[in-house]
């Protein structure tokens, strides 16, 4: 009798994909709003499942905020909020009305940039299941915590970009 060992998928071995969690997201049948936070940026995409591979509907990168007139850092809570807002606007223009949040391997921490991006997407009009307690406070979304340490007005910039 041979002792055979099953080899897991490469992405599972690398710790990059949790296939059980992914299957549960796909069962919803809705588009996924994927939020990825790096040290200096936030990337928000809308994706739908296809047997040949996921189809990216739209993507918005926090660096794209600079094209819209954003003069501040792109790795903070207000930038994540605006990134989610604009990604949702683009997705809605392409026919996405509801989605489900996909945070990948990120840890779920209430008040984080991931949930700031989610709040931005919801404020833009996208229907996503959520809990209000996960969102950052309104002061953090508008940058009051940054203004306390800097000589810049972020709150006015956030509000002007959303118009």
The rounded mean pLDDT for the chain is: 86
In a domain, 6, yes or no: no
In a domain, 8, yes or no: no
pLDDT single digits (tens) 121-136: 999 999 998 999 999 9
Quick: pLDDT tens for 48-84. 888 887 899 999 999 999 999 998 899 999 999 999 9
Q: How many CB atoms lie within 10 A of CB 57?
A: 19
Q: How many CB atoms lie within 10 A of CB 128?
A: 18
**pLDDT band, very low/low/confident/very high, at 1 (cuts 50, 70, 90):** low
Domain span at 109: 14-126+133-161
In sequence order, the 6+-apart residues with CB closer than 8 A to the CB of 134 are 108, 110, 111, 115, 118
Does any domain span residue 120?
A: yes
- Whole-number pLDDT of residue 2: 62
Q: What integer pLDDT is reported at residue 35 of this predicted model?
A: 95
Q: What pLDDT score does 151 carry?
A: 63
Residue 103 is assigned to a structural domain of this protein: yes
Residue 64: CB partners within 8 Å, gap ≥ 6?
83, 86
Instruction: Look at residue 9 and tell me whether its pLDDT is greater than 90.
Output: no
Nearest to 126 by CA among 154, 98, 159, 151: 98
Domain holding 21: CATH number? Answer: 3.30.420.100
- For residue 162, the tally of other CB atoms under 10 A from its CB is 14
Q: How many domains does the chain have?
A: 1
Asked whether residue 55 is assigned to any structural domain, the reply reads yes
Specify the pLDDT at position 65.
95
Does any domain span residue 84? yes
Four-point Cα dihedral 125, 102, 87, 144, nearest 10: 80
Instruction: Write down the pLDDT at residue 12.
Output: 67
pLDDT in tens, 148-158: 777 667 777 88
pLDDT at 6: 72
pTM over 0.85: no
């Amino acid at each position: 009798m041979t002792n055979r060992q099953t080899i897991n998928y490469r992405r599972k071995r690398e710790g990059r994909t949790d296939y059980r969690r992914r299957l549960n997201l796909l069962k919803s049948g809705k588009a996924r709003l994927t939020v990825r936070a790096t040290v200096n940026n936030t990337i928000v995409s809308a994706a739908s499942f296809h047997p040949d591979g996921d189809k990216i509907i739209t993507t918005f990168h926090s660096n794209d905020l600079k094209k819209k007139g954003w003069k501040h850092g792109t790795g903070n809570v207000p930038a994540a909020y605006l990134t989610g807002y604009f990604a949702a606007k683009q997705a809605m223009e392409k026919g996405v009305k509801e989605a489900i949040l996909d945070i990948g391997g990120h840890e779920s921490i209430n008040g984080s940039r991931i949930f700031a991006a989610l709040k931005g997407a919801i404020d833009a009009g996208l229907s996503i299941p959520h809990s209000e307690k996960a969102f950052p406070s309104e002061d953090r979304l508008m940058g009051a915590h940054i203004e306390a340490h800097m000589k810049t007005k972020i709150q006015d910039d956030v509000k002007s970009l959303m118009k």
